[in-house]
Amino acid sequence: MAISEAGKRQLLEASRSLGVEIGDKLDRFSEYYDLLVAENEAINLTALNTETQVIHKHFVDSLTCFLSGRLEGFLKGIDVGTGGGFPGIPLAIVNSGLDLFLLDATRKKVEFVNRVCDRLGLPNAHALWNRAEVLGQQAAHREAYDRVVTRAVSPLNSLYELCLPLLKVGGFLIAQKGPEVEGEIASARSVEGKLGGRLLEVIHLKLPVIGDPRSLVIVEKVAPTPDKYPRRPGAPQKNPLS
């Protein structure tokens, strides 16, 4: 079930309003939608599965990461908690210079993401089955990435411990959040510094067409993360730093 012609026009226009041109990539988005709908019931990828919901609340929502102004050019990145591939796969479709690892702890979701990458022909997107706490202590991944992107994973005080150890000094975390993010930011203020991060800016926005409010939290990695972080799997969520 490919995206309808009306749906393609909506996706094209909404993306353009974000400053993102996807005209020659529409077929890839349509094929991604086809796979998502076909496999969603068996794998439980998303509760948002109508054409309009997928276009605006998954595809366009993912593309708002480009409003950070920090996803252009040739970069090595990782999407922490990618689920059904958001925001990572839409970002990889648009920027072929973004070499992006798509990390999730649920094997079935990673297998789905791998099938999508193969079907869409995305040599710059790589599905990865593991936990961020484990990767953050592995030499191949610790402080190895220029960018970390993430959406709807956990509150900032635990999210920072999952993500900042993966970033190179000078790299950026781009965390997609809802509109009411100030409380999370306040409670995580001391945590970002402990892990080598510095809050750079918060971008408040509304999704084109549907108007749903969102926030992008941008954190710069300014110093190495102490070796003791991240802690063992599950600890950042069960006992967040303060």
Residue pLDDT, tens place only, 160-179: 999 999 999 999 999 999 99
Q: Is residue 133 a known part of a binding site? A: yes
pLDDT, one tens digit per residue, over 83-117 is: 999 999 999 999 999 999 999 999 999 999 999 99
The reply to whether 132 sits in an annotated binding site is: yes
Instruction: Find out whether 14 is annotated in a ligand binding site.
Output: no
Of the chain, the percentage scoring pLDDT greater than 70 comes to: 100
Which pLDDT does position 74 carry in this prediction? 96
Predicted local confidence at residue 49, as pLDDT: 76
186 among annotated binding-site residues: no
Which comes out higher in pLDDT, residue 48 or 142? 142
When pLDDT is averaged across residues 204-233 and rounded to a whole number, the result is: 98
Q: Is 86 annotated among the ligand-binding residues?
A: yes
Q: What is the mean pLDDT of the chain?
A: 96
| 6 annotated as a binding-site residue | no
Where residue 150 falls among pLDDT bands split at 50, 70, 90? very high
The confidence score (pLDDT) of residue 152 equals 87
Tell which CATH architecture fits domain 69-238: 3-Layer(aba) Sandwich (3.40)
Residue 193, annotated ligand binder?
no
The model's confidence at residue 193, banded by pLDDT at 50, 70 and 90, is very high
Nearest-angstrom CA–CA distance, 73 and 215: 23
Flag whether 104 is marked binding. yes
Percent of the chain with pLDDT over 90: 93
What is the CA angle 58-62-68, rounded to 5? 160
Quote the pTM value: 0.97
Q: How do residues 6-61 score in pLDDT, each as one tens digit?
A: 999 999 999 999 999 999 999 999 999 999 999 988 888 888 778 999 999 999 99
Q: What is the mean pLDDT of residues 180-186?
A: 95
Tokens (6 digits) for 67: 């409003």
Q: In angstroms, rounded to a whole number, what is the distance separating the alpha carbons of residues 94 and 96?
A: 6
- pLDDT recorded at residue 75: 97
Q: What angle do CA 121, 124, 127 make, to 5 degrees?
A: 85
Model confidence band, residue 1 (pLDDT cutoffs 50, 70, 90): confident
The single residue listed with the structure tokens 């939290």 is 217
Question: Taking a C-beta distance cutoff of 8 angstroms, is the pair 131, 105 a contact?
Answer: yes
> Domain boundaries in the chain?
69-238
